Amino acid sequence: MRVTNMSEAIRFHFDVDGENFSSAGEASVMVKKKLRQLGFSPDVMRRVSIAMYEGEINMVIHAHGGTADVIVGEDAIEIILADKGPGIPDINKAMQEGFSTASDNIRALGFGAGMGLPNMKKYTDYMQIDTEIGVGTTITMRVNY
Amino acid sequence: MHLSDFSQAVSLKHLCGPTADDFDGVYVGDLLSRAMSHIQAGNLWITIMNNINVVAVASLTEAAAVILAENVSLTPDVFEAANEKGIAIYSSCESAYDLCVSIAKSADEHQ
Ligand SMILES: Nc1ncnc2c1ncn2[C@@H]1O[C@H](COP(=O)(O)OP(=O)(O)O)[C@@H](O)[C@H]1O
Ligand SMILES: [Mg+2]
Protein backbone atom coordinates (compact mmCIF):
# COMPACT_ATOMS: atom_id res chain seq x y z
CA MET A 1 0.00 0.00 0.00
CA ARG A 2 1.20 3.50 -0.82
CA VAL A 3 -0.21 6.50 1.03
CA THR A 4 0.10 10.00 -0.38
CA ASN A 5 -1.04 12.93 1.67
CA MET A 6 -1.52 15.97 -0.49
CA SER A 7 -3.02 19.15 0.83
CA GLU A 8 -6.51 18.45 -0.49
CA ALA A 9 -6.83 14.68 -0.30
CA ILE A 10 -5.49 11.47 1.19
CA ARG A 11 -4.81 8.72 -1.36
CA PHE A 12 -4.29 5.00 -0.90
CA HIS A 13 -2.93 2.82 -3.67
CA PHE A 14 -3.06 -0.98 -3.76
CA ASP A 15 -1.95 -3.65 -6.17
CA VAL A 16 -4.61 -6.37 -6.18
CA ASP A 17 -3.05 -9.76 -6.81
CA GLY A 18 -5.00 -11.77 -9.34
CA GLU A 19 -3.25 -15.08 -8.71
CA ASN A 20 -4.03 -15.36 -5.07
CA PHE A 21 -7.48 -15.74 -3.59
CA SER A 22 -6.11 -15.62 -0.11
CA SER A 23 -5.34 -11.92 -0.39
CA ALA A 24 -8.65 -11.05 -2.04
CA GLY A 25 -10.39 -8.44 0.08
CA GLU A 26 -7.12 -7.39 1.69
CA ALA A 27 -7.20 -3.86 0.21
CA SER A 28 -10.82 -3.37 1.32
CA VAL A 29 -10.00 -4.46 4.85
CA MET A 30 -7.06 -2.01 4.91
CA VAL A 31 -9.17 0.88 3.60
CA LYS A 32 -11.85 0.26 6.18
CA LYS A 33 -9.23 0.41 8.92
CA LYS A 34 -7.94 3.72 7.57
CA LEU A 35 -11.44 5.19 7.31
CA ARG A 36 -12.10 4.22 10.90
CA GLN A 37 -8.91 5.97 11.98
CA LEU A 38 -10.04 9.05 10.05
CA GLY A 39 -13.30 9.02 12.00
CA PHE A 40 -15.79 8.15 9.25
CA SER A 41 -19.30 7.06 10.24
CA PRO A 42 -20.23 3.35 10.26
CA ASP A 43 -22.60 3.97 7.34
CA VAL A 44 -19.92 5.49 5.11
CA MET A 45 -17.43 2.76 6.06
CA ARG A 46 -20.02 0.10 5.31
CA ARG A 47 -20.87 1.48 1.88
CA VAL A 48 -17.23 1.93 0.89
CA SER A 49 -16.44 -1.58 2.19
CA ILE A 50 -19.21 -3.28 0.22
CA ALA A 51 -18.47 -1.41 -3.01
CA MET A 52 -14.73 -1.80 -2.82
CA TYR A 53 -14.82 -5.45 -1.75
CA GLU A 54 -17.06 -6.37 -4.68
CA GLY A 55 -14.87 -4.45 -7.11
CA GLU A 56 -11.72 -5.96 -5.70
CA ILE A 57 -13.14 -9.48 -5.91
CA ASN A 58 -14.25 -8.88 -9.49
CA MET A 59 -10.71 -7.90 -10.46
CA VAL A 60 -9.43 -11.12 -8.90
CA ILE A 61 -12.02 -13.54 -10.30
CA HIS A 62 -12.68 -11.93 -13.69
CA ALA A 63 -9.59 -9.90 -14.61
CA HIS A 64 -6.34 -11.42 -13.18
CA GLY A 65 -6.02 -8.59 -10.66
CA GLY A 66 -5.43 -4.88 -11.05
CA THR A 67 -5.01 -1.74 -8.98
CA ALA A 68 -7.21 0.02 -6.48
CA ASP A 69 -6.95 3.71 -5.65
CA VAL A 70 -8.94 5.32 -2.89
CA ILE A 71 -9.05 9.08 -2.61
CA VAL A 72 -10.52 10.69 0.46
CA GLY A 73 -11.71 14.03 -0.88
CA GLU A 74 -13.41 16.94 0.78
CA ASP A 75 -16.94 15.61 0.54
CA ALA A 76 -16.62 12.18 -1.09
CA ILE A 77 -14.51 9.05 -1.04
CA GLU A 78 -13.55 8.02 -4.55
CA ILE A 79 -12.63 4.44 -5.41
CA ILE A 80 -10.92 3.70 -8.73
CA LEU A 81 -10.47 0.06 -9.71
CA ALA A 82 -8.45 -0.55 -12.86
CA ASP A 83 -7.59 -3.83 -14.51
CA LYS A 84 -6.15 -5.12 -17.77
CA GLY A 85 -8.59 -8.01 -17.91
CA PRO A 86 -10.90 -9.16 -20.72
CA GLY A 87 -13.33 -6.23 -20.44
CA ILE A 88 -17.12 -6.47 -20.08
CA PRO A 89 -18.91 -7.17 -23.38
CA ASP A 90 -22.40 -6.11 -22.28
CA ILE A 91 -22.56 -3.72 -19.33
CA ASN A 92 -26.36 -3.77 -19.10
CA LYS A 93 -26.36 -7.52 -18.80
CA ALA A 94 -23.48 -7.48 -16.31
CA MET A 95 -25.41 -4.98 -14.15
CA GLN A 96 -28.40 -7.33 -13.82
CA GLU A 97 -28.79 -9.00 -10.44
CA GLY A 98 -27.86 -12.66 -10.71
CA PHE A 99 -25.92 -12.39 -13.96
CA SER A 100 -22.53 -14.03 -13.65
CA THR A 101 -19.96 -15.64 -15.89
CA ALA A 102 -18.08 -17.10 -12.91
CA SER A 103 -16.94 -20.73 -13.30
CA ASP A 104 -18.11 -23.56 -11.05
CA ASN A 105 -14.75 -23.49 -9.25
CA ILE A 106 -15.24 -19.83 -8.41
CA ARG A 107 -18.82 -20.43 -7.33
CA ALA A 108 -17.69 -23.18 -5.00
CA LEU A 109 -15.73 -20.51 -3.13
CA GLY A 110 -18.91 -18.50 -2.53
CA PHE A 111 -18.43 -15.98 -5.35
CA GLY A 112 -20.46 -15.60 -8.51
CA ALA A 113 -23.78 -14.56 -6.98
CA GLY A 114 -24.06 -11.91 -9.68
CA MET A 115 -24.64 -9.28 -7.02
CA GLY A 116 -21.30 -7.49 -7.20
CA LEU A 117 -21.92 -4.80 -9.80
CA PRO A 118 -25.54 -4.20 -8.68
CA ASN A 119 -24.34 -3.77 -5.09
CA MET A 120 -21.54 -1.44 -6.15
CA LYS A 121 -24.18 0.72 -7.82
CA LYS A 122 -26.62 0.46 -4.94
CA TYR A 123 -24.20 1.40 -2.17
CA THR A 124 -22.43 4.28 -3.91
CA ASP A 125 -23.62 7.72 -5.03
CA TYR A 126 -21.83 7.56 -8.37
CA MET A 127 -20.49 4.74 -10.48
CA GLN A 128 -18.95 4.73 -13.93
CA ILE A 129 -17.71 1.74 -15.89
CA ASP A 130 -15.15 2.25 -18.65
CA THR A 131 -14.41 -1.00 -20.40
CA GLU A 132 -12.88 -2.19 -23.63
CA ILE A 133 -12.78 -5.77 -24.81
CA GLY A 134 -9.28 -7.20 -24.57
CA VAL A 135 -7.94 -4.01 -22.97
CA GLY A 136 -9.45 -3.80 -19.51
CA THR A 137 -11.96 -2.22 -17.21
CA THR A 138 -11.84 0.83 -14.98
CA ILE A 139 -14.61 1.41 -12.48
CA THR A 140 -14.91 4.72 -10.68
CA MET A 141 -17.20 5.00 -7.67
CA ARG A 142 -17.94 7.76 -5.21
CA VAL A 143 -19.47 7.65 -1.78
CA ASN A 144 -20.51 11.12 -0.58
CA TYR A 145 -20.20 12.00 3.07
CA MET B 1 -27.68 -12.72 22.91
CA HIS B 2 -24.79 -14.88 24.08
CA LEU B 3 -22.99 -17.82 22.55
CA SER B 4 -22.67 -19.30 26.01
CA ASP B 5 -26.47 -19.57 26.21
CA PHE B 6 -26.57 -22.35 23.60
CA SER B 7 -22.97 -23.48 23.13
CA GLN B 8 -23.52 -26.75 25.04
CA ALA B 9 -26.72 -27.58 23.21
CA VAL B 10 -24.96 -27.43 19.83
CA SER B 11 -21.51 -28.63 20.99
CA LEU B 12 -19.88 -25.38 19.92
CA LYS B 13 -16.15 -25.69 19.35
CA HIS B 14 -13.82 -22.69 19.27
CA LEU B 15 -11.52 -23.03 16.25
CA CYS B 16 -9.53 -19.81 16.04
CA GLY B 17 -9.40 -16.09 16.60
CA PRO B 18 -10.46 -14.52 19.89
CA THR B 19 -13.31 -16.07 21.84
CA ALA B 20 -16.64 -14.27 21.52
CA ASP B 21 -19.84 -14.26 23.54
CA ASP B 22 -22.12 -11.28 22.90
CA PHE B 23 -23.84 -11.00 19.56
CA ASP B 24 -26.81 -9.16 18.16
CA GLY B 25 -28.85 -10.97 15.48
CA VAL B 26 -27.94 -13.81 13.15
CA TYR B 27 -27.21 -14.06 9.43
CA VAL B 28 -27.24 -17.41 7.64
CA GLY B 29 -25.79 -17.79 4.16
CA ASP B 30 -22.89 -18.89 2.01
CA LEU B 31 -22.89 -16.53 -0.95
CA LEU B 32 -20.26 -13.96 -0.09
CA SER B 33 -21.86 -11.04 -1.97
CA ARG B 34 -25.09 -11.61 -0.12
CA ALA B 35 -23.33 -12.02 3.20
CA MET B 36 -21.25 -8.91 2.56
CA SER B 37 -24.28 -6.72 2.06
CA HIS B 38 -26.57 -8.30 4.67
CA ILE B 39 -24.48 -9.06 7.73
CA GLN B 40 -24.86 -6.22 10.21
CA ALA B 41 -22.17 -5.26 12.69
CA GLY B 42 -22.46 -7.51 15.74
CA ASN B 43 -24.28 -10.33 13.91
CA LEU B 44 -23.45 -13.96 14.33
CA TRP B 45 -22.75 -15.45 10.88
CA ILE B 46 -23.63 -19.09 10.27
CA THR B 47 -22.17 -20.60 7.10
CA ILE B 48 -20.67 -23.74 5.59
CA MET B 49 -18.20 -21.68 3.56
CA ASN B 50 -14.76 -22.24 5.00
CA ASN B 51 -12.30 -20.59 2.64
CA ILE B 52 -10.14 -17.60 3.44
CA ASN B 53 -12.64 -15.11 2.02
CA VAL B 54 -14.93 -15.73 4.97
CA VAL B 55 -12.36 -13.94 7.13
CA ALA B 56 -12.36 -10.82 4.92
CA VAL B 57 -16.17 -10.67 4.83
CA ALA B 58 -16.49 -11.20 8.59
CA SER B 59 -13.89 -8.50 9.15
CA LEU B 60 -15.48 -5.98 6.77
CA THR B 61 -18.97 -6.51 8.14
CA GLU B 62 -17.78 -6.61 11.77
CA ALA B 63 -19.56 -9.86 12.47
CA ALA B 64 -19.34 -10.80 16.16
CA ALA B 65 -18.37 -14.38 15.30
CA VAL B 66 -18.63 -17.05 12.62
CA ILE B 67 -20.09 -20.51 13.20
CA LEU B 68 -19.22 -23.17 10.64
CA ALA B 69 -22.18 -25.55 10.50
CA GLU B 70 -22.11 -29.28 9.75
CA ASN B 71 -18.67 -29.75 11.28
CA VAL B 72 -16.97 -27.93 8.44
CA SER B 73 -13.29 -27.59 9.24
CA LEU B 74 -10.63 -24.98 8.47
CA THR B 75 -7.36 -25.10 6.58
CA PRO B 76 -4.26 -23.63 8.26
CA ASP B 77 -4.25 -20.50 6.04
CA VAL B 78 -7.75 -19.56 7.21
CA PHE B 79 -6.76 -20.31 10.78
CA GLU B 80 -3.85 -17.93 10.49
CA ALA B 81 -5.84 -15.17 8.80
CA ALA B 82 -8.58 -15.35 11.45
CA ASN B 83 -6.04 -15.09 14.24
CA GLU B 84 -4.35 -12.18 12.55
CA LYS B 85 -7.58 -10.28 11.83
CA GLY B 86 -9.16 -11.14 15.16
CA ILE B 87 -12.13 -13.06 13.76
CA ALA B 88 -13.74 -15.52 16.16
CA ILE B 89 -14.54 -18.77 14.34
CA TYR B 90 -16.43 -21.70 15.86
CA SER B 91 -17.76 -24.96 14.51
CA SER B 92 -20.69 -27.19 15.33
CA CYS B 93 -21.90 -30.56 14.08
CA GLU B 94 -25.42 -29.13 13.73
CA SER B 95 -26.90 -27.90 10.47
CA ALA B 96 -27.52 -24.18 9.98
CA TYR B 97 -31.22 -24.83 10.57
CA ASP B 98 -30.68 -26.72 13.82
CA LEU B 99 -28.27 -24.04 15.01
CA CYS B 100 -30.95 -21.42 14.41
CA VAL B 101 -33.55 -23.49 16.27
CA SER B 102 -31.22 -23.77 19.27
CA ILE B 103 -30.40 -20.06 19.17
CA ALA B 104 -34.08 -19.13 18.99
CA LYS B 105 -34.88 -21.47 21.88
CA SER B 106 -32.13 -20.01 24.03
CA ALA B 107 -33.23 -16.47 23.15
CA ASP B 108 -36.75 -17.33 24.37
CA GLU B 109 -35.44 -18.85 27.57
CA HIS B 110 -33.22 -15.89 28.34
CA GLN B 111 -35.74 -13.16 27.65
N1 LIG C 1 -13.44 -6.31 -13.78
C2 LIG C 1 -14.13 -7.10 -14.60
N3 LIG C 1 -13.57 -7.57 -15.75
C4 LIG C 1 -14.27 -8.34 -16.60
N5 LIG C 1 -15.53 -8.74 -16.39
C6 LIG C 1 -16.15 -8.32 -15.27
C7 LIG C 1 -15.50 -7.48 -14.32
N8 LIG C 1 -16.36 -7.22 -13.32
C9 LIG C 1 -17.50 -7.85 -13.63
N10 LIG C 1 -17.39 -8.52 -14.80
C11 LIG C 1 -18.45 -9.29 -15.50
O12 LIG C 1 -19.71 -8.90 -15.00
C13 LIG C 1 -20.40 -10.02 -14.44
C14 LIG C 1 -21.23 -9.59 -13.26
O15 LIG C 1 -20.40 -9.14 -12.19
P16 LIG C 1 -20.94 -9.20 -10.70
O17 LIG C 1 -22.24 -8.49 -10.62
O18 LIG C 1 -19.87 -8.72 -9.80
O19 LIG C 1 -21.22 -10.76 -10.49
P20 LIG C 1 -20.20 -11.97 -10.22
O21 LIG C 1 -18.85 -11.39 -9.90
O22 LIG C 1 -20.81 -12.66 -9.06
O23 LIG C 1 -20.18 -12.80 -11.46
C24 LIG C 1 -19.32 -11.01 -14.11
O25 LIG C 1 -19.77 -12.33 -14.04
C26 LIG C 1 -18.34 -10.79 -15.26
O27 LIG C 1 -18.78 -11.44 -16.43
MG1 LIG D 1 -18.64 -9.93 -8.53
Q: What are the tens digits of pLDDT across the range A97-133? A: 999 999 999 999 999 999 999 999 999 999 999 999 9
Range of the domain at B100: 3-109
Interface of A with B in 4-23 (CB under 8 A): 21-22
**Band of residue B40 on the pLDDT scale cut at 50, 70, 90:** very high
Number of structural domains in chain A:
1
What pLDDT was estimated at residue A5? 64
ipTM: 0.88
Three-state secondary-structure class, residue A16: strand
Atom of ligand 1 nearest to the CA of A66: 1
For residue B20, what are the CA distances in angstroms to B7, B16, B66, B99, B106? 11, 11, 10, 17, 17
What pLDDT was estimated at residue A125? 98
**CATH number of the domain where residue A65 is located:** 3.30.565.10
Range of the domain at A40: 2-144
% pLDDT > 90, chain B: 95
* Whether residue A8 has pLDDT greater than 80: no
Q: Do A53 and B57 touch (CB under 8 A)?
A: yes
**CATH number of the domain where residue B88 is located:** 3.40.1390.20
Q: What is the pTM of this model?
A: 0.93
Mean predicted confidence (pLDDT) in B33-53: 96
